Amino acid sequence: MLGTNDLKFRYSMSATDIANGVRKLVRLIKSKSLYVGGIPKVLVVAPPIIKDSAHLLGDEFKNGVEKSNKMGKELLKAASEEGCPFIDSSSLLNRVILMEFIYRKSPIQF
């Protein structure tokens, strides 16, 4: 799960810019032939949406609420284009599924 810190005002990145960065990382991971046992599978996870309470962080996430609302859609598009499964952690159901996968090794098929 990457992208939340990229929403900081000082980086001046849009949701599309962040998704393109994730896309580049996915391509880099999939291009390496140095892995023992083959290239790892990549699961793209959209971070939770920043809520209006983000103002408590000051100007660090100025405009972050609007951009974070677009992140899931942009990351879904990037994941689909790169052939990766996708989970949007803003959804309660998806958070439950993700935690089940991480902590109990539940068989999520990629």
Q: What is the pLDDT of residues 14-32, one digit of tens each?
A: 999 999 999 999 998 888 7
Where is mean pLDDT largest: 23-27, 29-33, 96-100, 103-107?
Answer: 23-27
The Cα angle at residue 66 between residues 60 and 5, in degrees rounded to 5:
40
Q: What is the pLDDT of residue 48?
A: 84
38-95 pLDDT tens trace: 788 888 989 888 876 556 666 787 788 888 889 999 999 999 999 999 988 887 666 6
Is CATH 3.40.50.1110 the classification given to domain 5-104?
yes
DSSP E strand stretches across 1-110: 44-46, 86-88
CA dist 52 and 13 (Å) reads 19
Domain ranges of the chain: 5-104
DSSP E strand stretches across 21-106: 44-46, 86-88
